[in-house]
Structure 1
Amino acid sequence: MNRPQTKLTQGIDWPIVGLYLALVIIGLMSIFAAEYRGDDNIWQNIIHLNKNYSRQLMWFGISIVVASVIWLTDSKFFTATANLVYAFGILLLLLVLGIGKDVKGSHSWLVLGGFQFQPAELTKLCTNLALAKYLSSQETDFNKLRSRLIAAAIALVPAGIIILQSETGLALVYFSFFLVMYREGLPGVLLVIAFSGIVLVLSALLVDKMILFIIFSVITALVIYFSRREIKRKRSRLLVILGIYGFCSLFVMFIVPFAFTKVLKDYQVRRIEVMLGKENDPKATYNTRQSMIAIGSGGFWGKGYLKGTQTRFDFVPEQSTDFIFCTIGEDFGFVGSVLFIAIYVALLFRIIHVAERQRSTFTRVYAYGVASIIFFHLAINISMTIGLAPVIGIPLPLVSYGGSSLLAFTMLIFIMLRLDADRQMVLR
């Protein structure tokens, strides 16, 4: 395909490429450290083809090839095929429901020959493209309720199908697209309502219901007292205040208990109770406790690369995937962990910088989608390894072992780079 640039690499954002490579290399090193036991020659371990780090290296090679193909593709291809790609992603998710394979309780894997992958990882890319396509359309007026509902449906339809695959963790990632919608004009009050809902759920789980009822009653009485002048002028405000009071009381008294006894599965309830410190079963709290022990044992400077005892003696389950951050925390300590997170922060800020310099609405929305997905993965993964979030199986972007995840994030990032490189050619 003929390119207007005089140089093949002209327009590429090298800081993002450098940060991407840094995270992938750290991931390969961490996966190797999680599997290395010190009982063999280190070079014999490196070339061991049956290990996760060898397979991850293979997937990295595949990802580089895919990234190169993306870079050689005209950026208009992604805008033109966004809806078709989304339909293909939904089709894959539905296909999993029929012929998918169960892996560790999750019915979310497709097996092709000797390879298996999660379509839910790829569908994040498909959804991001479709949302960018819709929000950048000339016919879309995001100030209207209808447009907002359609945008929400684009994000929530794949999430609903993924929940049916018993993959709740990845389904939650799709809520990160609401951050993109907020950037494009979604009222901030909706985010406040969502945050308030989370606070109400936590309150219902941690505080006695009668005490909560008394607190709500006192707060409502104070609001009515201090708003009495406004209420005299407009009686409807009193109805709004009483309505909020009634809903909050109903929510914590009946809705939350019903959801935790009739809707959520037992293992999901246990994970939330572990996070809140209400679960005393050693088996239920084992993963989180061992994770925190491993990170804490690293101290300030860490034990040194390949010297982590919690890692080498398999105390932490899933240490190459969901709990890969434990390896970094144990080997490199507080300092190494902070520097590691700083790389992610630098990547996120650079992506936001790329988003804000766009003249194309499509590219801006897409770039914010990439940033939101990475942020959500990062925040949830690290939070669950230190006991601040339930263990829901969300990988650390570009670092955790997993070919589907690495390939999906590579495609997300390099499509953004391709779109950004052609920004001067796009008017909208």
Structure 2
Amino acid sequence: MINRRQQIKLTEGIDWPIMGLYFGLVFVGLLSIFAAEYREGDGIWNDIIHLNKNYARQLMWLGISGVLATIIWLTDSKFFTATANLLYAGGIVLLLVVIGIGKDVKGSHSWLVIGGFQFQPAELTKLCTNLALAKYLSSLETDFTKMRSRLIAAALALVPCVIIILQDETGLALVYFSFFLVMYREGLPGILLIIAFSGIVLVLSALLVDKNILFIIFSVITALVIYFSRREIKRHRSRLALILGIWAFCSVFVMFIVPMAFTKVLKDYQVRRIEVMLGKENDPKATYNTRQSMIAIGSGGFFGKGYLKGTQTRYDFVPEQSTDFIFCTVGEDFGFLGTLIFVGLYVALLLRIIFVAERQRSTFSRVYAYGVASIIFFHMAINISMTIGLAPVIGIPLPLVSYGGSSLMTFTMLIFIMLRLDADRQMVLR
């Protein structure tokens, strides 16, 4: 038997606000998955025992996640720094294995089948990448003011991203860009984020405006800049080369790179969804999921229809309502007020994680915690945007809430490793 002193020692250092928010979101997820799948007359206990429904399988995954969380909590924090690079290498190898022997699920070649279970390595590799990035940025040899160090850090995030794109899993690949928020916190110049934002504007321009017109616009702007900067250019000839270089890059980018990436990288259904979202095409089939999701959320009104009383979700009008579109179940059952409280749980979790990150003595722990916050933020923002029509449907789960063993286990491990590091925050880890 464990005496009281041992119990206190086991729980010493736990950040209880994060624990409470974690269990709160998991509980909301179980309620929502149950609401999306339960029908009158279903044998609940029979479904749970035989794992016939997603809510039953989610309970199983929650149990497995609990075991993993306990193991992590009992592990020495130094283990995570010592194995970070090894875990990252293992994650990359696993992603490459998936390309060869992975199974296609709903157009994505990113799943491994182990026995009767499906597993998505791209989820787990987020954790490995976060550890590796924290390890690299906390190294005494890393000078993040140098371009070489920044390129290596970017490569750590982008290598798994590229491999995942090769698996036709564009949605999860986007999440790896969240690590650039971590790099910004650690000293990445803001100008680079401005350049990245400019790139997004260029992409949207290339999709919305005829490329020949864009070429003319870029040429006129370049000519005007050269004219009004002619005195500066006379003193510094390199300015002319820089201006012409930017003009050449933007022109090639919008005329060749974006169209090629749009047709070669994205699937046809993803292209249609983006075109519909941008107003270039009116295809009811391409937006069916989003329209039904928005109808479900809108029908909930301010207070919602009540738990298990939603008609859109109960009668299967919304596809994937226990996974990618779980947010609409919350909206229909609990209304605007319920979704506001629900999003508030995520905001509270993110703010608490940032608070935890800033109190770390160790750079490793701080970088890792910011990585957890960035990953959760990207998932939450993109998923909710999908369900309300602000982003194309690209298949990103809602953290701790959407049905899925790979997702639940990964986010559980992400959070509990952070809690373990925080409990040892007086240590300096590298």
Structure 2 counterpart of 1:26:
28
**Cα displacement (A) at 1:96:** 1.7
Structure 2 counterpart of 1:343:
345
Cα distance, 1:320–1:178 mapped onto 2, change above 3 Å: same
Structure 1 counterpart of 2:238:
236
**Cα displacement (A) at 1:228:** 5.1
Which amino acid is 1:212 matched to? L
TM-score where L is the length of structure 1? 0.93
Secondary structure at the residue paired with 2:393?
Answer: coil
Q: Deviations over 1:51-106 (max 9, x none)?
A: 10011011111111111111111111111111111122122212222222221121
**Cα displacement (A) at 1:46:** 6.9
**Cα displacement (A) at 1:147:** 1.5
Confirm or deny: 8 A CA contact 1:279 1:285 kept in the other structure.
Answer: no
Matches within 5 A, 1:69-84: 69-84=71-86
Secondary structure at the residue paired with 2:124?
Answer: helix
Confirm or deny: 8 A CA contact 2:81 2:429 kept in the other structure.
Answer: no
**Cα displacement (A) at 1:206:** 1.7
Distance 1:369 1:50 in 2: 35
Structure 2 counterpart of 1:363:
365
CA RMSD after TM alignment: 2.3
**Cα displacement (A) at 1:160:** 1.8
Confirm or deny: 8 A CA contact 2:364 2:429 kept in the other structure.
Answer: no
Q: Deviations over 1:332-384 (max 9, x none)?
A: 11111111111101111111111111110110111111011101101111111
Cα distance, 1:242–1:87 mapped onto 2, change above 3 Å: closer
Pick which of 94-103 and 20-29 moved more.
94-103
Secondary structure at the residue paired with 2:158?
Answer: helix
Confirm or deny: 8 A CA contact 1:24 1:398 kept in the other structure.
Answer: yes
Which amino acid is 1:357 matched to? R
Structure 1 counterpart of 2:402:
400
Distance 1:101 1:262 in 2: 21
Structure 2 counterpart of 1:164:
166
Q: Deviations over 1:281-311 (max 9, x none)?
A: 2221211211111112112221111111110
Pick which of 295-304 and 266-275 moved more.
266-275
**Cα displacement (A) at 1:39:** 4.6
Structure 2 counterpart of 1:123:
125
Distance 2:25 2:12 in 1: 23
| Identity of matched residues, % | 86
Q: Deviations over 1:154-205 (max 9, x none)?
A: 1122122212221111111111111111111122211111111111111121
Structure 1 counterpart of 2:336:
334
Distance 1:211 1:334 in 2: 43
Distance 1:131 1:5 in 2: 34
Alignment partner of 2:288 out of 286, 289, 302: 286
Is 2:282 the counterpart of 1:272?
Answer: no
Distance 1:227 1:39 in 2: 76
Which amino acid is 1:186 matched to? L
TM-score where L is the length of structure 2? 0.93
Alignment partner of 2:262 out of 260, 263, 268: 260
Consecutive unaligned residues in structure 2, runs of 5 or more: none
Secondary structure at the residue paired with 1:423?
Answer: coil
Distance 2:300 2:10 in 1: 44
**Cα displacement (A) at 1:260:** 2.5
Pick which of 43-52 and 185-194 moved more.
43-52
Structure 2 counterpart of 1:422:
424
Distance 1:254 1:118 in 2: 33
Structure 2 counterpart of 1:146:
148
Which amino acid is 1:316 matched to? V
Distance 2:259 2:429 in 1: 52
Structure 2 counterpart of 1:320:
322
**Cα displacement (A) at 1:38:** 3.3
**Cα displacement (A) at 1:44:** 7.1
Cα distance, 1:310–1:132 mapped onto 2, change above 3 Å: same
**What is the aligned length?**
426
Cα distance, 1:5–1:137 mapped onto 2, change above 3 Å: farther
**Cα displacement (A) at 1:42:** 7.0
Distance 1:373 1:71 in 2: 21
Which amino acid is 2:421 matched to? L
Distance 1:192 1:4 in 2: 52
Is 2:13 the counterpart of 1:11?
Answer: yes
Confirm or deny: 8 A CA contact 1:129 1:366 kept in the other structure.
Answer: yes
Cα distance, 1:255–1:81 mapped onto 2, change above 3 Å: closer
Confirm or deny: 8 A CA contact 2:363 2:429 kept in the other structure.
Answer: no
Cα distance, 1:263–1:6 mapped onto 2, change above 3 Å: closer
Secondary structure at the residue paired with 1:7?
Answer: helix
Confirm or deny: 8 A CA contact 2:365 2:429 kept in the other structure.
Answer: no
Matches within 5 A, 1:191-270: 191-217=193-219, 219-220=221-222, 223-224=225-226, 227=229, 230-270=232-272
Confirm or deny: 8 A CA contact 2:233 2:240 kept in the other structure.
Answer: yes
**Cα displacement (A) at 1:261:** 3.5
**Cα displacement (A) at 1:218:** 5.2
